[in-house]
Structure 1
Amino acid sequence: MQVRSITLVRHGRTAYNKAGRIQGRVDIPLDATGQWQVEQTGRALRDLYVTSEPAARQLVVASDLTRAQQSAHAFADPLGLDVHVDGRLRERHFGDWEGMSMDELRAAFPDDFDLWMRGLGGEMRHRAESHAHAGARGWDALRDWSHRAGSDTDLFVFSHGALIENTIQEMYGIGERFPDFVSITSMRNAHWARLVDARIDEDDRWILVDYNHGPALADTPAWDDPGEAPGPGRVNRGDAQ
């Protein structure tokens, strides 16, 4: 028995995201723009996968970091759903690089930064968690939660960009099959990936049907500047800093 779908959602924007700083496990909350983003995403997810499926159930799980939990509640609270917390879903650990900006890393560690950008592991010299380890714990969490409900349930998981990316790569054995593979594209803030049950006589087989999907507003300048948003979704420019 397992759920019929898994939706993996990246958290909304934080001050570190805006400044181009490595977050990793640093517990940074959403900024005003990030809160607005997850409200748009929560509404879109409800419209697409809840309102249109009145007989379905929803199970919501989030990383233990604040930004992911805030994002989960933006989706779950209007539905009266609990948000379950799982530390296995927290972001990949970036070691000594956490809190540093991209410009600072490039200046302080030019060779390792270049290796990291090319997917050759420069960050591993600075106590970062490996892609494989992050992906394994993420996949372990998904397997666990996907078996806690049945085929009438959709699982919504609110987590982090690198963790989601590494988890999907682990699910499909990409690193083992293609050792030189660098990375699938990281998701934007408050975007999601969706997997559906492959419906074969074997558990834990999933079809990736969507990746880096976001609300319609995500394709407009308003996504990073809600002062440009039309109608009631608009955010005061001063509040969005």
Structure 2
Amino acid sequence: MSARTVVLVRHGRTEWNATGRLQGHADVALDDVGRWQARRGAQTLFRRHKASLVVASDLVRAAQTAQAYAEASGARVVLDARLRERGFGQWEGLTHDELVDGWPEQYEAWRRGEEPVGIGAETKAAVADRMVAAIRGYAEDLDAGQTLAVVSHGAAISLAIAKLLGQDASYWRGIAGLNNVHWSQLSRATAGATPDWRLVTHNAGPDYALDEWNDGPADLGDDADWISAPSSA
């Protein structure tokens, strides 16, 4: 048996997102806007998808976002390191300008969709493999009528979707990235079909203008103070 629906959710905003720093495996928490996004996104997502299980990257920005949805839905949260963002080695914590100045050739290769050599980055294929292994494993533990929610990271989600759609994640770039606390829905195809998962919705999110969503409202109110410790199992 397997869940028929999988929802892949990107985490909320962090200070590094706001300042344009590459995160990778760096464990950066949500900022005030990210916590507001997590709360608002959870409310919208719960109205559309009532997950039976929420699994998340063990990096705190994803775990905090998952906890917001779990509190809205009553689902339990499982943390799994296989759902982490792509590791970027020496580049983690650096800005666009620092990458261009320090590694111009590797940066241009990366922007073309190639692998940046010599920085200790995880390959795209390796990320896709670990992500999809985790997603398939958790989905297979659920019944057909249940929904799996996966809270992860921008690059990792795009690579996972590519592989689930039967594409070579090492070079295929047909899936654009997700905004913070936006999601994609995949549904299991008819038995025997290729690929066995189909993309139904991509980059869906709460009904806010993108600028307001990215920057947060002028008055965050009580949402700025909201934070919960992540659950694990």
TM-score, L = length of structure 1:
0.86
Match of 2:203 in 1: 212
The number of residue pairs the alignment matches comes to 223
Matched, 1:98 2:92: yes
User: How far 1:79 moved relative to its partner?
Assistant: 2.6
- What is the match of residue 225 of structure 1? 215
Tell me how far apart the structure 2 counterparts of residues 34 and 94 of structure 1 sit (CA, whole Å). 22
2:77 corresponds to: 83
Q: Which moved more, 1:132-141 or 1:195-204?
A: 195-204
Distance 1:180 1:81 in 2: 35
Asked if structure 1 preserves the Cα contact closer than 8 Å seen for 2:165 and 2:195, the reply is no
| Letter aligned with residue 235 of structure 1 | L
- List runs of 5+ in structure 2 lacking aligned partners: 226-233
Taking structure 2 as the reference length, the TM-score comes to 0.89
Where does 1:157-196 land on structure 2 (aligned, <5 Å)? 157-175=150-168, 181-182=172-173, 184-196=175-187
CA-atom RMSD in angstroms: 2.0
Which residue number corresponds to residue 54 of structure 1? none
Q: Does 1:29 align with 2:29?
A: yes
For structure 1, the 5+ residue unaligned runs are: 51-56, 229-233
Aligned counterpart, 2:5: 5
Q: One-letter code of the match for 2:74?
A: G
Which of the two has greater helix per residue?
1
Task: Name segments (4+ residues, structure 1) moved above 6 Å.
Answer: none
**Quick one: distance in 2 between partners of 1:143 and 1:185?**
22
Match of 2:228 in 1: none
**Identity rate, percent:** 37
Residues 112 and 124 of structure 1: CA distance in aligned 2, closer, same or farther (over 3 Å): same
Tell me how far 1:215 sits from its aligned partner.
0.9
Shift of 1:225: 2.4
Code of the aligned partner of 1:170 = K
Determine which structure has more spread, i.e. the larger CA radius of gyration: 1
- For the Cα contact (< 8 Å) 1:2–1:203, is it kept in 2? no
Query: Do the aligned partners of residues 74 and 204 (structure 1) sit closer, same or farther apart at CA in structure 2, a change above 3 Å counting?
Result: farther
2:122 aligned with 1:129: yes
